[in-house]
Amino acid sequence: MENGAVYNETTEPQAKLSRRPFGCTLRHLRGWRLPTKALQAILSLLAVICEEIVEDCIKCGGLYFFEFTSCSAFLLSLLILCVYCTDVYETFGEDKVRTVNSGAMLVIGVCFLLASIVLAATSSGSAVEGAAYAFGFLASCAFLAEIIADHFHSRKQNIDGCSENPGNTQSATENQPLNKQS
């Protein structure tokens, strides 16, 4: 027993987990989700770039609000994209990630839409401001489209996954009286 021969036959070395390059994978972004996430990040970045190019503003409050919203939307969309593409997805779990994603996309979409409306209303009419709020409207549509698509997708899964209750038939034993009368 002292040489450890008893334990050699039953113990196996622990298998090493295969590491992904940079810990990144796209398997959680199948179908329509990957193009939507990429479009959100690209349109948000274009809105930020166009907003930063604006040289003069007459009513700058709308521009500052749009700047904050577009930059926040870009950074949050990148953060959520990183969560979907890394091991953090497995750490938090699918339900929590989808719940946070849905809430964040709704808030970002509504705020981006509001900021785009405010910028369009307070714009001095320059082409760069017009491009900024145009990209803002497109980005807010991309954020809100994901919410709508995710809602219909989850609703379809609920309809497809729910079947009629086959256990609630008259011949089932739980539906029979306890004391049979003969």
**What is the count of structural domains for the chain?**
1
Query: What is the per-residue pLDDT for 41?
Result: 93
> How far is C-alpha 4 from the chain's CA centre?
52
User: pLDDT tens digit string along 114-151?
Assistant: 999 999 999 888 899 999 999 999 999 999 998 998 88
Q: How does residue 68 score in pLDDT terms, banded at 50, 70 and 90?
A: very high
User: pLDDT tens digit string along 19-61?
Assistant: 555 667 777 777 778 888 899 999 999 999 999 998 888 888 8
For residue 13, being part of any structural domain is answered with: no
Tell me the pLDDT of the chain averaged across its residues: 81
For residue 19, being part of any structural domain is answered with: no
For residue 20, being part of any structural domain is answered with: no
For residue 75, being part of any structural domain is answered with: yes
Range of the domain at 108: 31-150
For residue 131, being part of any structural domain is answered with: yes
77 vs 176: which has the higher pLDDT: 77
pTM over cut 0.95: no
For residue 128, being part of any structural domain is answered with: yes
